[in-house]
Homo-oligomer: A and B are copies of this chain.
Amino acid sequence: MIKTIEFVDGAVRMIDQTRLPMEKVFVDCQTIEDVGRAIKTMIIRGAPAIGVAAAMGVSLGADAISGEDFDGFFSQLEKQCDALAKSRPTAVNLAWGIERMKRVARAGKDLAIADLKKRLREEAQIICDEDIAANKAMGSFGQTLIADGNNVLTHCNAGALATAGFGTALGVIRASVNAGKKINVLANETRPFLQGARLTVWELMEDNIPVKLITDSMAGHFMQKKQVDVVVVGADRIAANGDVANKIGTYMVAILAKNHNIPFYVAAPISTLDLSLATGEEIPIEERSADEVTTINNKRMAPEGAKVAHPAFDMTPNHLVTAIITDKGIARPPFVETLKKLAGE
């Protein structure tokens, strides 16, 4: 399996997810600004992967700061972090990764700057390794909810490519397969960016997990035909009450699941939880460029001048969520209590 993101020779190497599966091209980010651009343009995407990229980016930023004075170092680091934090608004993991790196920097204020830089590099690597471990824990908890022979529908890509490895929603599927269960995946293509068609299908085919690609508009039809037993998706931010922000279309899938009495599971690490927000209404929803809707493969599909809306995420209210699978365990309603408990607060 190709690595989503890793340190290579002082750079942060990412597989370019805008070009998969047609081309396997890697991008080496030399600076924190490079990482910010990679996040913004979705060379790397997926909330947990963005968190890891942010941490690695901060390490690159730290390396580029000259001088031996902590206060000077930290104020420059903060400025870089503020810019990086603006690259995408919805996934809370971006802010989470940055904040964790800043905490480590502050805690290391008595170190020599060279040692602090080393420490930050190590921390970014730890965040990367922890993400994979968290996904495996999620898989282990989550696979108990999946039965042998299940047809599992997923939306977007919450897989190895959306994380440092193994995946959140696809991690639950991988763990189910590893536990000897026969699983068939139905993958929504996930317009406009086609993460399902391009990334989820590719990932699962690489792992020989049976997957069938459908358009987003077919999800209801296959539920009506009783060809979906369970839905598992990822999340970009989860509010304290269990409202879930995730890729646009997730809300639609959740309503369809509810109407067909199909369990709707969200798999996300605790780092995706934002207890500072009481409800999902407060989660900022990114509006992306119209071109991503009107243009496919650099060719325009809609008339010139067409008006377009492009919210990149939507908000699924907690009453549509059967359970939230985290690396600390499975939360069930009332989420306001169970999530707090899992988060250890």
Q: Pick the contact of A299: B222, B255, B293, B297 (CB < 8 A).
A: B297
For window 269-305 of A, CB contacts with B under 8 Å fall at: 293-294, 296-297, 299-303, 305
Return the CB mask of A204-234 against B: 1 if under 8 Å, else 0: 0100001111111111111010000000000
Given contacts A198-B302, A256-B252, contact A221 B311 (CB under 8 A): yes
Contact B309 A217 (CB under 8 A): no
Contact B224 A315 (CB under 8 A): yes
Return the CB mask of A308-345 against B: 1 if under 8 Å, else 0: 11010011000000000000000000000000000000
Contact A197 B301 (CB under 8 A): yes
Interface presence of A202 (CB below 8 A): yes
B residues in contact with A190, CB < 8 Å: 217
Contact A309 B194 (CB under 8 A): no
Contact B302 A197 (CB under 8 A): yes
From residue A304, how far is it (CB to closest CB) to chain B in Å?
8
Contact A301 B194 (CB under 8 A): yes
Given contacts A217-B248, A302-B201, contact A308 B212 (CB under 8 A): yes
Contact A306 B205 (CB under 8 A): yes
Secondary structure at the A interface, as helix, strand, loop or mixed, is mixed
Count how many chain A residues have C-beta atoms less than 8 Å from C-beta atoms of the other chain: 53
Contact B197 A294 (CB under 8 A): yes
From residue A5, how far is it (CB to closest CB) to chain B in Å?
21
Given contacts A213-B294, A213-B307, A309-B212, contact A301 B198 (CB under 8 A): yes
Contact A215 B252 (CB under 8 A): no
> How many copies altogether?
2
B residues in contact with A309, CB < 8 Å: 186, 212-214, 218, 222
B residues in contact with A144, CB < 8 Å: none
Give the docked Cα–Cα distance between A206 and B224 (Å).
37
For window 9-26 of A, CB contacts with B under 8 Å fall at: 21-22
Interface presence of A251 (CB below 8 A): yes
Given contacts A215-B248, A251-B224, A303-B202, contact A189 B189 (CB under 8 A): no
A-to-B contact residues, CB < 8 Å: 21-22, 186, 188-192, 194, 197-198, 201-202, 205, 210-222, 224, 248-249, 251-252, 255-256, 258-259, 293-294, 296-297, 299-303, 305-309, 311, 314-315
What are 9 A-B pairs at a CB distance below 8 A? A197-B294, A197-B301, A198-B301, A212-B309, A213-B306, A217-B217, A221-B311, A252-B252, A255-B255
